[in-house]
Amino acid sequence: MLIRNAKDCEGGVFDIWLRDGKIAAIGCDLPQPEGEEILDAKGLTVLPAFIDTHCHWRTPGYEYKEDIATGSAAAAAGGYTFVNLMPNTKPVCSDAETVYAVQNKAKEIGLCDCNQTVSITKNFDGVTIDHLAMLPDDIKFITEDGNGVMNNAVMARVFAFASGANLTVMSHAEDREISPWDYRLAENIETVRNCHLAEYYDTRLHMCHVSTKEAIEAIAASRAKGARITCEVTPHHLWFDDSKLQYKVNPPIRKADDVAALVRAIRAGVVTCIGTDHAPHSAEDKAKGAAGMVGLETSFAVCYTKLCRMEGLPLEHLSYLMSAGPAAVMQLDDHKGLLRPGYDADLVLVDIDHLYTVHADKLHSKSKNCPYDGQSFYGRVMLTIKGGKITYRNSDGE
């Protein structure tokens, strides 16, 4: 496929030639390869396809909320070609067999690849870590997701083991003994603890959905000392503050000064990437108090509108946060996350001048728990390409 008349982040027009699943060439007025498809981008902006460091597809065990097919379709519609899945499934993903089953099913569907993470403690029991020594070398990411590891000694042992085993610890920072009465303190205390453990053991640590100004300051301080710490922020923690939305997510929607601190941290390069924390729930579960919201299909538009249109962040920086940054976290940066010859032909075409309205009932996700319903944003995903093949084309006319 030869893509003509594409725009880069600064508005320059160029062509991209895709061949055998890779980017073959980038330039102006590239010669037309004989017999290959021509795709006229018509001035749409072309970016590296997005990579999500934090996602839930609910397989196995909770397929009534989402399954790999609907999660893949939602990802493709949001411009994603790779997502990182959390282990809070039923049963909990604590073994390689479950990892491979999920990843192979995603490959079979073919719309979006995934990495399935493994629980830090077996079945989230908070204590047992023997299963980590049984993991094969190609499994690189462990997380306790929404549970957190409460016991300091257990977590110290985990960091020590992970350092020697080349594992990345992904942390949902929450002291659950404190969160019922002070969720800010719960996040901040575990953030400081885990940052210190990463410094002490020289362990790769990724902090998920950072939401408070104190937490992002602690991460910045540890990074300044050379700690191997990356972090993500979610679109909803950037867009909403607690004066604008009362909607149950975990961690909660924070105050306006927390949002401002996250934006400052993005400008300063402390924030590595955007993680959606795509968390589908049925209407019944949401009504019963389940925390979370879907986010794959709205992520780019929300972040582009907030960060680029409202805060003046260069589109190139947002592209880094959604592509090259998460590729580095997921150790994919030798072949994903950039528009560069030899890299995977994973691209997304976006209309950055198009104002569209989110309609929850039109989302590809099985779940519709979307607080953006009825809100309008700039930055419509128009086409997603994975491995040189179109996986999503916007056709609703909006």
Q: What are the structure tokens assigned to 247, written together?
A: 């909607």
pLDDT at position 55, please? 98
91 cis-preceded (ω within 30 degrees of 0): yes
Amino acid, res. 328: A
Region class of 78: left (phi > 0), else alpha (psi between -120 and 50), else beta: alpha
pLDDT tens, position by position, 322-372: 999 999 999 999 999 999 999 999 999 999 999 999 999 999 999 999 999
Structure tokens at 127: 């204590």
The tokens for 208 are 């998920």
Degrees (nearest 5) of the Cα angle 375, 381, 382?
125
What distance in Å separates the CA atoms of residue 229 and residue 218, rounded to the nearest whole number? 11
Does 55 fall in a domain? yes
Decide if pLDDT at 318 tops 80: yes
List residues bridging with 27 in a β-sheet. Answer: 15
133's tokens = 């020594």
Q: What angle do CA 327, 54, 353 make, to 5 degrees?
A: 70
Q: Is the dihedral of CA 171, 177, 181, 182 positive or negative?
A: negative
Instruction: Tokens for 351, please give them.
Output: 């209309």
With beta carbons less than 8 A apart as the criterion, state whether 320 and 360 touch: no
Strand order in the sheet with 113-116: 50-55, 80-85, 113-116
Write out the DSSP string of 216-238. HHHHHHHHHTT--EEEEE-HHHH
Residue 343, domain member (yes or no): no
Number of separate domains in the chain: 1
Q: Is the pLDDT of residue 398 over 60?
A: no
Q: Does residue 71 fall inside a structural domain?
A: yes
Q: Which amino acid is at 308?
A: C
Strand pairing partners for 84?
115
- Reported as a single tens digit per residue, the pLDDT across 106-134 is 999 999 999 999 999 999 999 999 999 99
> Does some domain include residue 2?
no
Examine residue 282 and state whether it is found in any structural domain, yes or no. Answer: yes
* Local confidence band at 252 (pLDDT 50, 70, 90 cut-offs): very high
Residue 353 inside a domain? The answer is: no
Sign, Cα dihedral of 126, 132, 135, 138: positive
SS3 assignment, position 164:
helix
Q: What is the rounded radius of gyration, in angstroms, for the C-alpha atoms of the chain?
A: 20
* Active site (catalytic) residues: 277
Residue ranges making up the domain that contains 220: 48-329
pTM: 0.97
pLDDT of res. 395: 84
The Cβ of residue 131 has, within 10 Å, a number of other Cβ atoms equal to 17
Residue 397 has pLDDT above 80, yes or no: no
For residues 385 and 348, what is the distance between their CA atoms, to the nearest angstrom? 6
Q: What angle, 0 to 180 degrees and rounded to 10, lies between the N-to-C axes of helices 213-224 and 256-267?
A: 20
Tens of pLDDT, residues 37-55: 999 999 999 999 999 999 9
351, part of any domain: no
Cα separation, 21 vs 180, in Å, equals: 49
For the chain, the average pLDDT equals 96
Domain contains 67: yes
3-state class (DSSP) for residue 60: coil
Any idea what the CATH number is for the domain that residue 299 is in? 3.20.20.140
- Residue percentage of the chain with pLDDT more than 90: 96
5: left (phi over 0), alpha (psi -120 to 50) or beta: left
DSSP letter assigned to residue 278 = B
